[in-house]
Structure 1
Amino acid sequence: MTDQRQITPGSLSRIQQNYLASGERKLLNWLCARLPDWVTPDMLTSLGLFGAAMTFVGYVASNFGSAWLLLAIAGYGVQWFGDSLDGSIARFRHIERPSYGYFIDHSCDGLTTLLILAGMGLSPFVTMDVAMIALAGYLLLSIHAYLSARVLGELKLSYLAAGPTELRFVLIGLTIMMMLLGSENGLFGSVSGFDLFVGGVGGVLMILFVLQTLSTGRRLAKMDVRPDRPAPFIADGPR
């Protein structure tokens, strides 16, 4: 039998070591103190999804003109506002619902990423297969984060000193470059520089997944060893 510690969403240790974390936290606290009482966490979660839908529409509509990419950029801002403030306002007002919030928030994160990357794949700038590589990398790293939350009680929110906010800035910068450079074939022929960038990000996420899995696996192996018996070889889960 492995150690069956009871780890709940409310007991998770949030690990956030990205560059903008400190300044962003101050801004979020400032906003929380000024939001009217009728603004609820669920409303903010819905607003975040609406922002992701704006980004999706902006990328798809860019087939008719690059000016539509402004809608995608605005969507990133709306999505940040809703996604960053829903949990923050709940903690600020002491109205947390840890299990519900954890489930809904991370479910919406997955849907948000699908909307953004599918929108890119339907735009004239990034091919769908490359966008799906990036989506696969994101989902793999998300799986690692959720598994670590279950077995270690740690929810890792940043990697390589970057988190969701830094990633949004990168994607906004990428979208601005789309507006400036257009969708014509460039130095790489039929494979655009945007394909290489988005695919490269997906590759980095997959490598991070492998490295983090190895690191966490070694850590868990040491935690599970007991002095009265050798470490079990079977790795098909707790029994």
Structure 2
Amino acid sequence: MLTFLGTVGSFIVLLGFLLATFYDRTFLLLGIVGLAINWFGDSLDGRIAYYRNIPRKWYGFSLDIIMDWVSTVLIGMGYLVYARNEYELIAFAFVVLYGWAMIISQLRYKITDVYSIDSGVAGPTEIRIILAIMLILEAAFGHVIEYFGAILCTVLFIINIIDSRKLLKMGDVRDHAERAERLAKAEKEHLAS
């Protein structure tokens, strides 16, 4: 239910963008409510399940990742509708870059067996705060979201490049460790025979 509530929050952000596009940009403030609802549902779903001792580790993990992607696409679609002319590309870039960050977190989990959605610099909560600030400034002044969006995409791109390099190094270390383990096992079996 909390995962569903988080996704509803993303629909509210989309609605805020749509209303701002066709009526008045102050409707962007509705997006802040949507981001807060999204954060509430997305942050508490797994924690409450573990607190109640009813976790569904793999189902919950899978559902959370899928709904995070749906939420990212909904928010990106809202910005795409709101954006003017060539600034529509920023919405596309944001969805792609955030999706890249999500893929990195899943691969990091596969390689390290430690689940972390934060890159060390920014995670989903910080991104929501940045988006809320962007919405406030856009509602107040207009035509600034494009610049903030471009800056956010640039920062996400840099973080993704750095995290991708770290990920590849971790993968290389794990490959070497597994290869050494296989060789040691084969040597042990050879000596035993």
TM-score class, shorter: 0.7 to 0.9
Does residue 158 of the first structure (1) align with residue 96 of the second (2)? Answer: no
User: Using a 3 Å threshold, how does the CA distance of structure 1 residues 158 and 125 change in structure 2: closer, same or farther?
Assistant: farther
SS of 1:157 mapped into structure 2: coil
SS of 2:82 mapped into structure 1: coil
SS of 2:115 mapped into structure 1: strand
Q: Alpha-carbon deviation of 1:207?
A: 2.3
- Counterpart among 72, 77, 87 of residue 31 in structure 2: 72
Q: Alpha-carbon deviation of 1:219?
A: 2.5
Alpha-carbon separation, structure 2, partners of 1:153 and 1:203: 29
Alpha-carbon separation, structure 2, partners of 1:124 and 1:216: 33
User: Using a 3 Å threshold, how does the CA distance of structure 1 residues 90 and 222 change in structure 2: closer, same or farther?
Assistant: same
Does residue 213 of the first structure (1) align with residue 176 of the second (2)? Answer: no
Alpha-carbon separation, structure 1, partners of 2:142 and 2:174: 53
Alpha-carbon separation, structure 2, partners of 1:70 and 1:223: 46
After the TM superposition, which residues 1-239 of structure 1 pair with which residues of structure 2 at under 5 Å, given as runs? 43-63=1-21, 64-124=23-83, 127-183=87-143, 193-225=144-176, 226-227=179-180
How many residues in Structure 1 have an aligned counterpart in Structure 2?
A: 178
- The alignment's TM-score, normalised by the length of structure 2, stands at 0.84
Alpha-carbon separation, structure 2, partners of 1:222 and 1:103: 27
Alpha-carbon separation, structure 2, partners of 1:141 and 1:74: 24
Identity of aligned residues (%): 29
- The alignment's TM-score, normalised by the length of structure 1, stands at 0.69
For the Cα contact (< 8 Å) 2:104–2:167, is it kept in 1?
no
Structure 1: runs of 5+ lacking an equivalent = 1-42, 184-192, 230-239
Provide the alpha-carbon RMSD of the alignment: 1.9
Q: Which has the higher contact order (CA 8 A, sep 6+)?
A: 1
Structure 2: runs of 5+ lacking an equivalent = 184-193
For the Cα contact (< 8 Å) 2:102–2:117, is it kept in 1?
no
Residues 177-212 of structure 1, C-alpha deviation per residue, up to 9 Å, x if partnerless? 0111123xxxxxxxxx42232122222222222222
For the Cα contact (< 8 Å) 1:73–1:175, is it kept in 2?
yes
Alpha-carbon separation, structure 2, partners of 1:109 and 1:223: 28
Alpha-carbon separation, structure 2, partners of 1:176 and 1:154: 36
Alpha-carbon separation, structure 1, partners of 2:148 and 2:131: 10
For the Cα contact (< 8 Å) 1:56–1:72, is it kept in 2?
yes
Alpha-carbon separation, structure 1, partners of 2:140 and 2:58: 44
Q: Alpha-carbon deviation of 1:160?
A: 4.0
Comparing both structures, which one devotes a greater share of its residues to helix? 2
Q: Alpha-carbon deviation of 1:105?
A: 0.3
